[in-house]
Amino acid sequence: MTTTTQTRPDYAAARKAMIDSQLRTSGVNEPFVLERMGAVAREDFVPEASKGTAYMDRAIRLADGGSLPAPLFHGAMLAEARPAAEDKVLVVDGGSGYLTALVEPLVASVKTISPSDALQAKKGDYTLVLVDGAIEHVPANMAKLVAEGGRIVTGLVERGVTRLATGRKSGKALALLPLAEMGVPRMGAFDKPESWSF
């Protein structure tokens, strides 16, 4: 009688490889970022069929139509955001919950909302807003969620190119500064309204 043993993927080894071959080689070396990304089991935030590829350098489509961005986006985002113990954080979630799990132990509080909730929001006082995807612009309602002097870190789509971007609220103004180019899944809810041109 022969028995077949199914080999379970070594997710811990995959996490370490992700840190060494994707984050470190791209300049993401902040100890707090590497610690959080080494501690959170990315495979727990993707569909069963995608668990084996959870640590690959690519985005993963989720069952609800959202996406989990590639690991480098989250690493670079955390490094840029530098979440502080006193931060009141808002995560605009792409559908996975992974970004919330990464940032939660680092800050005072975290609230997670969907893109549609962000578009309908009235006002907030979040010192840090993290958007788990690429947007074309920050709609007025979402800008109201950022406290005066607060910051936002997001993906940004410009002419079909996606980049990491950051901004800081000053008065009513909240402009985004594009940073490193990288692949980030687009959040269609934040596309600019089409305008007529002659």
pLDDT digits (tens, 9 = 90+) for 4-51: 455 667 899 999 999 999 999 999 999 999 999 999 999 999 999 999
Q: How confident is the model at residue 2 (pLDDT cuts 50, 70, 90)?
A: low
Residue 122 confidence (pLDDT) = 83
Angle of helix 31-39 relative to helix 71-81, nearest 10 degrees, comes to 140
H helices of 10-97, in order, are 11-18, 31-39, 71-81
- CA nearest 73: which of 196, 187, 193? 187
pLDDT digits (tens, 9 = 90+) for 62-95: 987 889 999 999 999 999 999 999 999 999 999 9
- Domain annotation for the chain: domains and CATH numbers: 11-189 (3.40.50.150)
Q: What is the pTM of this model?
A: 0.91
Residue 30 confidence (pLDDT) = 97
What is the Cα–Cα distance from 52 to 87, expressed in whole angstroms? 34
Q: How confident is the model at residue 123 (pLDDT cuts 50, 70, 90)?
A: confident
How many CA atoms within 13 Å lie on the side-chain side of 32? 16
